[in-house]
Structure 1
Amino acid sequence: MLKLQPIIFIFTLLCFQINFSQSVNIKGKVDSAVDVENIHVINKTAQVFTITNSKGEFEISASLNDVIVFSSIQQISKSIVVDKNMILFKAIRVVLEEQITELDEVIVGKVLTGNLLSDIKNVEGDAPINFFDVGIPGYTGKPATQSERRLSEASSFNPKSGGSLGGFGGSVSATALINAITGRTKMLRNRVDLESREELMLSIKGRLAKDFFISNPLAEDLKMDFWFFCSDDENFIKYCKGQTDFNILIFLRKKYREYIENRNLSTD
């Protein structure tokens, strides 16, 4: 009977070892002095990722000794190694420090003393006047790009110089018809679409590239080619414009697999 004790001990030890080596879903919470939503949680070892909800909560698959990276614009990045307690209790609690960017003190314009009569004499120039001050309606949205302005002019269906053609319940400028026939309107529309894709691609690259390539490694000289590969996808605008970082990362992950497959095929 006594001889069985070492065997039972070894068996129990092996059971614990097997349990710890298996992947489990760990629930966690991020605490910080600033916003805790949309923090990137990346299992660098298993190459899986997720983001936190509005309460800083998340759930991610992990095994013993996996490295999990927490990253966001507002907080300092932090890496933790999954230990036995995290696997046993299937829980993680992480505190992130706020990312503070210190700027040198800059004094612009006149230095005010707090004495109203004195400060009025030191102020130069008149206050700027905008279209609201004079009662004129104005546009306050995003300024159109040069290509967007050219497309608007080329496809305008208002009467222009050079004559107009009646029909279809209104008048159509001859210039717009000529542009449509010659293909200039289509060319400008394609240019606007290309610029829109490139602007969105650069925005995503600047915001997510660092975290994405942590779990999806790629040679430095291939990274820009990958971003253009993503932006060329016909569904790029649909899946990335106005979407959450989580949805964008899912799209990027799918394109990453396609990109790697294409690279492997081209080298065979």
Structure 2
Amino acid sequence: MIKHLLIFILLFVNFTCIAQNSFELSGRVIAQTRDTLEVSVLNLSRETGVVTNEKGDFKIDVSIGENLYFSSIQFEPLEVEVTSTILEDPNYMVFLFPKINELQEVLLSSVDLIGIEETDIKNIPLQPYLSAANLGLPQATKPLPTIEERRIYTASSGPLDLLINTLNGELKKLRKLNEWAKLDRLVVQGEQAMAVHYFEEYCGVPEAYISDFIYFCAQDDRYKPLLKQQDKLKLFEFFEEKGPAYKEFRQW
């Protein structure tokens, strides 16, 4: 009996060690738009991440059972659990779908227009503009919650939900996803603040690495306040200052 117990313990320990081994996962992000450059690949379990190259290829350290999160501004996010099948696949591919932005409904008027501006203006019936303000209704002053914030609210809306999602780690994972989403939005703001040639000429950063450079800059506590101030001159000086540090980080 003792012999069998020892064998079971040894097998269990061996299996646990194998499961915890770290591997470098190589893969490629595929999308219909073929615009797979700089898709964020995050290891939620280790809180580390990389970005894809111009072909959509990526390499990241993982272990079996860890969760990978693929996100980009133009694609729907995707979460994948690492399995032995994924690690054994030499041509592992991840398929992402573009985000669909719903357009407002367009109503076609039945009013006949003759092409004369003064006459047409008189023939078009006008309706009073209605808003919460002119109807005397209370107005919302807070911005609408993001998708991530709504998921956190749902996971903690009741005592039982809060307890279950805290114990199974779901709430912690949702909060981490919310942090990454906020970081993504800050990076996009930084990219839109300056022209591409600015990063290349003044910071020494190639166009393919601009997003990665801004992720690097976002780790500095000065970055977020500079974005809020909307002072392009100070932001210009900040990026230029971070250029040499980023090139040293990249070992260029």
Same fold judged by TM-score > 0.5?
A: no
Q: Normalized against structure 1, the TM-score is what?
A: 0.42
The TM-score with structure 2 as length reference comes to: 0.44
